[in-house]
Structures are given as structure tokens and as C-alpha cells.
Amino acid sequence: MNLRTLLALAAVFSGTVPSLSGDLPRIVHENGRHALIVDGRPFFILGAQINNSSAWPDIMPKVWPAIAEIRANTMEAPIYWEQLEPQQGMFDFSLVDTLVFQARRHNVRLVLLWFGAWKNGSMRYVPEWVKKDTAQCGRVEDASHQRMDILSVYCPATLALDQKAFAALMGHLEEVDGTLCTVIMVQVENETGTWGTPRDYSPEAERQFAEPVPRELISALGKREGSWKEVFGNQAEEAFAAYGMARYVNAVAFTGKAVYPLPMYVNAALRNPEDSGARAGANYPSGGPAYSVIDVWKAAAPAIDLLAPDIYLPSRTAYAATLALYNRADNALFVPEMSNDPSNARFLFSVIGRGGIGFSPFGIDYTGYVNAPLGWNEVSPVALKPFAEEYALLGPMIREIAEWSFKGMVTTAIEEQHVPLQRFDCGRWHVTVSYGLPEFGFGDNPPGNPSLDGCALVAQLGPDEFLVAGIDARVQFALSSSAKGEHMEYRRVEEGVYEAGTWRFRRLWNGDQTDWGLNFKHVPFVLKVKLGTY
Ligand code: DGJ
């Protein structure tokens, strides 16, 4: 046991989460923006989440080639309670070790997903000995008191067992990884909330639902005291479920952080913001961190650093609306899972543009499993190409992007249907991004790309200096409001790459390469642009 563990245990007894973070990964906040700090600097997760049953030593050889293909800097992989603690109190860390040691060899960081008492709103990943212990580990009951395949959060024994297993996992991680920090973040449980019932109706849940809303929640939300129905109206059951779930998950996270304080998040199976009739428990799991109960979660789960949307929604507008809902001054934006449909790749630029800390398509391995229609109908180099292309473009300078984004210096654009031209201002400069144009020739009527895959990133490095990157887009600069007779000119346009934080110049762009705007196709390069006026 090292010093950090000793101090952490002391902190558990004194009831405070230790601030022993030193150089450990952590989330920081400034001016309403957020950064994931890894090795002392902002980091952005260019992620890939593997399939649920892929984190086994015999299967990993089919995983690594896909991770390499997509060029992820971080792999997200589950840890299964049923495997970790096959008999009560007997822990098997071999899968954790396999992941950590192999990730180091493959030069990627890890986000580990604790598939504990909750996975997609059910209890499928708990060890058999927990499943059998129905006396201590009670089940959720629906409104007609039928027991469900879901553990009740109102059973202290279940929570204690989950906490113990999670603390063992975090303790082991601290031992094997506390110095190198290959694991940079941990997901606590998976897609919590109940499907099939808006809340638990077991006797203890009924007792708590009959009580007034707890004072701490009332004061955190600035509401007037009363029963759940009086305070939350027709959202009472979902709010009650969220409060119980958030407190449970918070307790698990708190115990884990006391042992090893990595950043921890909870992922959300989403309530579709475009479906006004969506009902908790029917259209999305009730009690998970859906957008309608983010405030309840924030109040009841302070040990959770952020709530993260798993985006499998059918429309682009719902995707964008979800990013807006989870990108808050009190919540760093992270998309830990999303459909691996190749047409979703461009959303990486949206997440970066909103100052997010990471992005990860789901089901990235070559085990042959596909989760269509949620995801794409194949996982192959061809299907991964749009993601790989973006990761190849941004990966070499992702630290710089994360830093600039934390300082609010980055603006991005992604192509929208029927919107082949977008504009934004950067200081005294006006930026136009247009789609579907050739590299040569005027572009008064951009047609848009048939595949809608255009995207661009503009980082303002100084009043008149920019870094520009993109795919299938033309980027043009002009003066926002020019004094009469004042015109913009390129002073210098450099093509180059970032290597280990240093800009490496390749060539100057001029002539045809700048006469028709700055045109980006599918070859990964970055431009540094210096503007002036005459
Ligand atoms: C969301 C879950 O969090 C994932 O583990 C997985 O089950 C996907 N849904 C569906 O493939």
C-alpha cells in the first residue's frame, strides 16, 4: 500500500473525497469551459468504445487492429463485475491487467466502464452469487408489484457490495497504474435507469416516495418543500427515480474516488429532445441522467464529474440538440458512445466546437458483431474511414486543440443539409465555410457535398493568425466590417503539421492554392494563415 492509498483510506474515515490528485487525470473548469487534464495538459479523447463482450484476453487480438485503424488515442472498455468478483470477496484482476498492459503497448489511453449493478437498466453483469441472493439484494418491483430483472437502489446490501467491488477495482488500478495513468477516466455503472416502469414500487421505495422530497434536493433546486408529486408534478416518478439512482451511483463513485480519485462520469441513455411525448420508463430509462433530470443528478451526485450522453438518436438535429443540453457550465461535454454510422463522424467537429473533452463511436472492433440499426451494418476499414480520416487529421495536434478549445479559441463548422454555406466571426475577421466546390474556381453557388461530410476547424491563434483544418470544405476570410477601401490579403499561408507540440513547416501556399479560398479535401494537412489588409 503506498502513500496515496493510505491517505485515501484516512479520507474515507473522515468522510471527504481526497484531493491527492497531483498529476492524476482530472477535470478542470474555467470561465464556464472545461478540460480533461492528462499528464498535466488538456487532452481530448479521440475514442473508440469496444463491444460489450470484447474485453477478454482471447478476443483482444480482434480489437487492436480496429483501434489502430481508426487511430483512436483512447479505448473505452468494460470491466465486468461477474468476472471481477466471481466469488464473494475473491477478486480476479486479470482482465484489468490485460487491458492496461496491452493499452500501453498499443500507445492508447483507457477509459474503463464499470459494468456493476447497472448495465442498460438491468442487472445482467452482477455475479451469480448476487443474482441468487434475493433476500439481501432485492429487485425493483413494477406498479403491480411484479419483480423485475433490476436491482433496487433501496437495498443497502446491494450498494455495499457494489461499492466494495468498485473500490477493489480502483485500488488495483491505483497499484498497477497510479504512476503511468494509462486509465484516464472511469464510467460508473452503465446507462442507469429503469425500462418498463417509471420507478421502483418495492416496499422501501414506496415508503421513501411517501415522504417529503429531501431538504438537500429542495434547496439545491430552489424549490418549495412538499411531496414528490407537489414538487415535481407529473415528473414526480422520474425525479424520485433519478434521486435514488444518483445517490446510489454517487456512493459507489465516492468510495472508488476515496481509493483512487480518477475522473468519473455516468453515461445516459437519452430522452430524445425532439420527442415531446417521450415517457420515462417507456421511451427512455427512468432515473438515468436524461436531460429532464440533469439538475437532480447534479444535486445528488457530487462525486460524479460529468453526465455524458450516449447518442444513438435518429436525426442530426436531435444530435445537435443533445450536445447543447449536456454542454453546461456545470457539465463538461463528453460523448462516450454514439452510433458508428460513418455519416456521424463529422460530429467530432461539433463536439470540439462546443469545447467538449471527448468523442467516441461505439462497437469498434473486428469481432464481427454489429449493433445495426443503432450502428452501421459493418465494422470494416471502409466503414471506419470517415472517423479514421478525422482522427488522422486532428490526432497529431489534439493536445494543442484541447488547449486552444479550453481557452475559447476554436470555432468549428459542420455541413448541414440544404446549408452549403456557413459564416462566423473571429475578431475583426469574417469566416465563410462552403461545401461542394471544386478546388479551383469561384464559389458563388456552392452545391453542398452529396455525402454532407464537410467540416472545418478554425483556431484563432492571434488577432490576425489562424490555424485552419477541414475535410471537403472551402474556408475563406474577409474583413467583418471594412473601412472603405480596406481589403484583406494573405500575408502568409503555411502548410504543415504538429509533431510533439511543435509546428513543422512543409511548404507555403500561394497562387492557385489560395486564389480560390483554402480548399480542403481528404488529404490530412493543416494550414497556418496570417492575414493583413491593404
Ligand atoms: C448503449 C450501451 O451503453 C452499450 O453498452 C450498448 O449496449 C449499446 N447501447 C448498444 O449496442
Residue type, 423: R
Q: Which residue's C-alpha comes closest to atom 5 of ligand 1? A: 52
Distance from residue 362's CA to the centre of ligand 1 (Å): 8
Radius of gyration of the chain (CA): 25
Gap between the Cα atoms of 302 and 254, Å rounded: 9
Q: Shortest CA distance to 5 belongs to which of 257, 353, 359?
A: 257
Q: Which residue's C-alpha comes closest to atom 10 of ligand 1? A: 371
Is the Cβ–Cβ distance between 76 and 113 less than 8 Å?
yes
The pick from 49, 51, 52, 369 for probing ligand 1's pocket by mutation, whose C-beta has the most ligand atoms within 8 angstroms, reads: 52
Instruction: Give the per-residue pLDDT at 22.
Output: 56
Q: Phi/psi zone of residue 120: left (φ > 0), alpha (ψ -120 to 50 degrees), beta? A: left
- Cα–chain center distance at 297: 17
Give burial (CB, 10 Å; 0-12/13-18/19+) of 62: middle
Residues (pLDDT < 70) of the chain are 1-22
Helix, coil or strand: residue 236: helix
Atom of ligand 1 nearest to the CA of 363: 11
Helix, coil or strand: residue 384: helix
Q: Which residue's C-alpha comes closest to atom 2 of ligand 1? A: 120
Q: Which residues line ligand 1 (CB under 6 A)?
A: 52, 120, 190-191, 310, 337, 362, 371, 374
Residue by residue, DSSP assigns 415-480 as: -BTTB-EEEEEETTEEEEEE-S--SSS--SS----TT---EEEEEEEETTEEEEEEESEEEEEEES
Q: Which residue's C-alpha comes closest to atom 11 of ligand 1? A: 371
What are the CA-CA distances from residue 13 to residues 21, 258, 318 (Å)?
18, 10, 45
Strands (E), 152-292: 183-190, 264-269
Q: Name the DSSP class of 25.
A: -
Instruction: Give the per-residue pLDDT at 4.
Output: 52
Q: Which residue's C-alpha comes closest to atom 6 of ligand 1? A: 52
Q: What is the pTM of this model?
A: 0.94
